[in-house]
Amino acid sequence: MKMRDYAILASISHEPKSGYDLAKWFDRVASHFCPAGYGSVYPALARFEREGLVEYETVPSEKGPDRKVYSITEKGKRALVRWASEPAADSQTRDEQLVKALSYGMLPPERALALLEEARERHANKLAYFEERERRLEVRLREGSISEEAYLGTLLVLRRGINAERCYAQWCEEAEKLVSLTKGLRAEVP
Protein backbone atom coordinates (compact mmCIF):
# COMPACT_ATOMS: atom_id res chain seq x y z
CA MET A 1 0.00 0.00 0.00
CA LYS A 2 1.03 3.59 -0.54
CA MET A 3 1.49 6.20 2.15
CA ARG A 4 -1.76 7.85 1.02
CA ASP A 5 -3.60 4.57 1.69
CA TYR A 6 -2.34 4.52 5.27
CA ALA A 7 -3.38 8.17 5.65
CA ILE A 8 -6.91 7.16 4.63
CA LEU A 9 -6.93 4.34 7.18
CA ALA A 10 -5.57 6.63 9.89
CA SER A 11 -8.19 9.26 9.17
CA ILE A 12 -11.12 6.88 9.38
CA SER A 13 -9.62 5.23 12.46
CA HIS A 14 -10.04 8.62 14.17
CA GLU A 15 -13.63 9.04 13.02
CA PRO A 16 -15.82 7.29 10.42
CA LYS A 17 -15.98 9.27 7.17
CA SER A 18 -17.53 9.18 3.73
CA GLY A 19 -15.36 9.44 0.62
CA TYR A 20 -16.34 13.10 0.35
CA ASP A 21 -15.40 13.67 4.01
CA LEU A 22 -12.03 12.01 3.38
CA ALA A 23 -11.27 14.20 0.38
CA LYS A 24 -12.12 17.28 2.46
CA TRP A 25 -9.95 15.95 5.29
CA PHE A 26 -7.00 15.67 2.91
CA ASP A 27 -7.58 19.28 1.83
CA ARG A 28 -7.86 20.61 5.39
CA VAL A 29 -5.45 18.43 7.36
CA ALA A 30 -3.10 16.46 5.15
CA SER A 31 -2.49 18.60 2.07
CA HIS A 32 0.91 19.77 3.37
CA PHE A 33 2.29 16.26 3.74
CA CYS A 34 0.14 13.76 1.82
CA PRO A 35 -2.13 15.21 -0.88
CA ALA A 36 -4.94 13.11 -2.31
CA GLY A 37 -7.98 13.91 -4.38
CA TYR A 38 -11.35 12.36 -5.03
CA GLY A 39 -9.84 10.26 -7.81
CA SER A 40 -7.61 8.38 -5.38
CA VAL A 41 -9.88 8.22 -2.31
CA TYR A 42 -12.80 6.29 -3.79
CA PRO A 43 -10.78 3.54 -5.51
CA ALA A 44 -8.76 3.05 -2.30
CA LEU A 45 -11.95 2.72 -0.23
CA ALA A 46 -13.34 0.13 -2.65
CA ARG A 47 -10.07 -1.83 -2.50
CA PHE A 48 -9.96 -1.61 1.30
CA GLU A 49 -13.51 -2.93 1.48
CA ARG A 50 -12.61 -5.91 -0.73
CA GLU A 51 -9.56 -6.58 1.47
CA GLY A 52 -11.61 -6.35 4.68
CA LEU A 53 -9.75 -3.28 5.99
CA VAL A 54 -12.85 -1.08 6.13
CA GLU A 55 -16.60 -1.50 6.21
CA TYR A 56 -19.32 1.01 5.51
CA GLU A 57 -22.74 1.94 6.70
CA THR A 58 -25.23 3.59 4.38
CA VAL A 59 -26.42 6.84 5.94
CA PRO A 60 -29.19 9.10 4.64
CA SER A 61 -28.00 12.45 3.36
CA GLU A 62 -29.84 15.74 3.70
CA LYS A 63 -28.45 16.89 0.34
CA GLY A 64 -28.87 14.09 -2.19
CA PRO A 65 -28.29 10.36 -2.31
CA ASP A 66 -27.41 8.20 0.68
CA ARG A 67 -23.77 8.29 1.79
CA LYS A 68 -21.41 5.44 2.52
CA VAL A 69 -19.67 6.18 5.82
CA TYR A 70 -16.54 4.07 6.27
CA SER A 71 -15.10 2.69 9.49
CA ILE A 72 -11.86 0.82 9.97
CA THR A 73 -12.09 -2.89 10.82
CA GLU A 74 -9.88 -4.76 13.29
CA LYS A 75 -7.93 -6.12 10.32
CA GLY A 76 -7.48 -2.54 9.06
CA LYS A 77 -6.31 -1.38 12.51
CA ARG A 78 -3.76 -4.19 12.66
CA ALA A 79 -2.42 -3.26 9.21
CA LEU A 80 -2.25 0.41 10.17
CA VAL A 81 -0.53 -0.25 13.52
CA ARG A 82 1.96 -2.64 11.87
CA TRP A 83 2.87 0.03 9.28
CA ALA A 84 2.96 2.88 11.85
CA SER A 85 5.31 0.81 14.06
CA GLU A 86 8.02 0.80 11.37
CA PRO A 87 10.54 3.64 11.05
CA ALA A 88 9.54 6.29 8.52
CA ALA A 89 11.60 6.86 5.39
CA ASP A 90 13.46 10.16 5.10
CA SER A 91 11.18 12.82 3.67
CA GLN A 92 11.82 13.95 0.14
CA THR A 93 11.06 17.55 -0.60
CA ARG A 94 9.99 18.72 -4.01
CA ASP A 95 9.75 22.47 -3.83
CA GLU A 96 9.19 24.59 -6.90
CA GLN A 97 9.94 27.73 -4.88
CA LEU A 98 13.49 26.53 -4.22
CA VAL A 99 14.05 25.62 -7.86
CA LYS A 100 12.91 29.11 -8.85
CA ALA A 101 15.13 30.65 -6.15
CA LEU A 102 18.12 29.18 -7.96
CA SER A 103 17.42 31.72 -10.71
CA TYR A 104 16.44 34.74 -8.61
CA GLY A 105 19.92 36.20 -9.11
CA MET A 106 19.06 36.63 -12.81
CA LEU A 107 15.80 38.46 -12.14
CA PRO A 108 15.51 42.16 -11.51
CA PRO A 109 15.79 42.43 -7.71
CA GLU A 110 12.37 44.08 -7.45
CA ARG A 111 10.74 41.07 -9.14
CA ALA A 112 12.57 38.58 -6.90
CA LEU A 113 11.52 40.59 -3.84
CA ALA A 114 7.90 40.64 -5.01
CA LEU A 115 7.92 36.87 -5.53
CA LEU A 116 9.41 36.28 -2.10
CA GLU A 117 6.84 38.60 -0.51
CA GLU A 118 4.03 36.63 -2.20
CA ALA A 119 5.52 33.36 -0.97
CA ARG A 120 5.92 34.73 2.56
CA GLU A 121 2.28 35.82 2.62
CA ARG A 122 1.10 32.40 1.38
CA HIS A 123 3.06 30.65 4.10
CA ALA A 124 1.93 33.12 6.76
CA ASN A 125 -1.68 32.41 5.74
CA LYS A 126 -1.11 28.65 5.94
CA LEU A 127 0.51 29.13 9.35
CA ALA A 128 -2.54 31.05 10.59
CA TYR A 129 -4.82 28.35 9.17
CA PHE A 130 -2.95 25.56 10.97
CA GLU A 131 -2.84 27.54 14.23
CA GLU A 132 -6.61 28.04 14.04
CA ARG A 133 -7.12 24.32 13.38
CA GLU A 134 -5.01 23.59 16.47
CA ARG A 135 -7.21 25.89 18.57
CA ARG A 136 -10.35 24.14 17.27
CA LEU A 137 -8.77 20.76 17.98
CA GLU A 138 -8.21 21.79 21.62
CA VAL A 139 -11.88 22.76 21.88
CA ARG A 140 -12.97 19.42 20.44
CA LEU A 141 -10.87 17.58 23.01
CA ARG A 142 -12.33 19.61 25.89
CA GLU A 143 -15.86 19.00 24.55
CA GLY A 144 -15.17 15.28 24.23
CA SER A 145 -16.00 15.20 20.50
CA ILE A 146 -12.62 13.66 19.60
CA SER A 147 -10.80 10.70 21.12
CA GLU A 148 -7.45 11.18 22.82
CA GLU A 149 -5.83 8.99 20.14
CA ALA A 150 -7.27 11.09 17.32
CA TYR A 151 -6.35 14.28 19.19
CA LEU A 152 -2.72 13.27 19.63
CA GLY A 153 -2.25 12.13 16.03
CA THR A 154 -3.89 15.25 14.63
CA LEU A 155 -1.96 17.52 16.99
CA LEU A 156 1.36 15.98 15.95
CA VAL A 157 0.55 16.55 12.28
CA LEU A 158 -0.66 20.10 12.89
CA ARG A 159 2.47 20.98 14.87
CA ARG A 160 4.65 19.75 12.01
CA GLY A 161 2.64 21.90 9.60
CA ILE A 162 2.88 24.90 11.92
CA ASN A 163 6.64 24.52 12.28
CA ALA A 164 7.12 23.99 8.54
CA GLU A 165 5.10 27.10 7.63
CA ARG A 166 6.79 29.20 10.30
CA CYS A 167 10.19 28.06 9.02
CA TYR A 168 9.24 28.75 5.39
CA ALA A 169 7.99 32.25 6.21
CA GLN A 170 11.28 32.92 8.06
CA TRP A 171 13.26 31.66 5.06
CA CYS A 172 11.33 34.07 2.82
CA GLU A 173 12.23 36.96 5.15
CA GLU A 174 15.91 35.95 5.10
CA ALA A 175 15.83 35.59 1.32
CA GLU A 176 14.29 39.06 0.98
CA LYS A 177 17.13 40.51 3.06
CA LEU A 178 19.75 38.72 0.97
CA VAL A 179 18.20 39.88 -2.30
CA SER A 180 18.09 43.43 -0.95
CA LEU A 181 21.77 43.22 0.04
CA THR A 182 22.89 41.85 -3.31
CA LYS A 183 20.76 44.46 -5.10
CA GLY A 184 23.29 47.08 -4.00
CA LEU A 185 26.25 44.84 -4.93
CA ARG A 186 24.95 44.28 -8.46
CA ALA A 187 24.53 48.01 -8.97
CA GLU A 188 28.21 48.54 -8.06
CA VAL A 189 29.59 45.93 -10.50
CA PRO A 190 30.97 47.71 -13.64
Inside any domain, residue 89? no
Q: Are residues 101 and 180 in the same domain?
A: yes
> Mean per-residue pLDDT for 69-85?
95
Report which residue type is found at 70.
Y
Range of the domain at 37: 3-84
Q: What is this structure's pTM?
A: 0.74
Angstrom distance (rounded) from CA 42 to CA 48: 10
Q: Are residues 14 and 66 in the same domain?
A: yes
Inside any domain, residue 91? no
Q: Is the pLDDT of residue 67 over 70?
A: yes
pLDDT at 189: 41
Phi-psi region of 64 (alpha: psi -120 to 50; beta: other; left: phi over 0): left
> Mean per-residue pLDDT for 88-115?
89
pLDDT at 87: 92
Domain boundary among 84, 107, 129: 84
pLDDT at 168: 95
Neighbour-count burial for 127-137, b at 16+ CB within 10 Å, e otherwise = bebbeebeeeb
Angstrom distance (rounded) from CA 30 to CA 35: 6
Query: How confident is the model over 7-22, as pLDDT tens digits?
Result: 999 999 999 999 999 9
Q: Are residues 164 and 108 in the same domain?
A: yes
Angle 24-54-134 from CA coordinates, rounded to 5°: 35
The domain tally of the chain equals: 2
Q: Are residues 103 and 71 in the same domain?
A: no
Q: Are residues 66 and 133 in the same domain?
A: no
Share of the chain above pLDDT 70, in %: 95
Inside any domain, residue 156? yes
Position 188 confidence tier, pLDDT thresholds 50, 70, 90: very low
Average pLDDT over the chain, rounded to an integer:
90
Q: Are residues 113 and 43 in the same domain?
A: no
Inside any domain, residue 118? yes
Domain of 24, CATH number, reads 1.10.10.10
Q: Is the pLDDT of residue 165 over 60?
A: yes
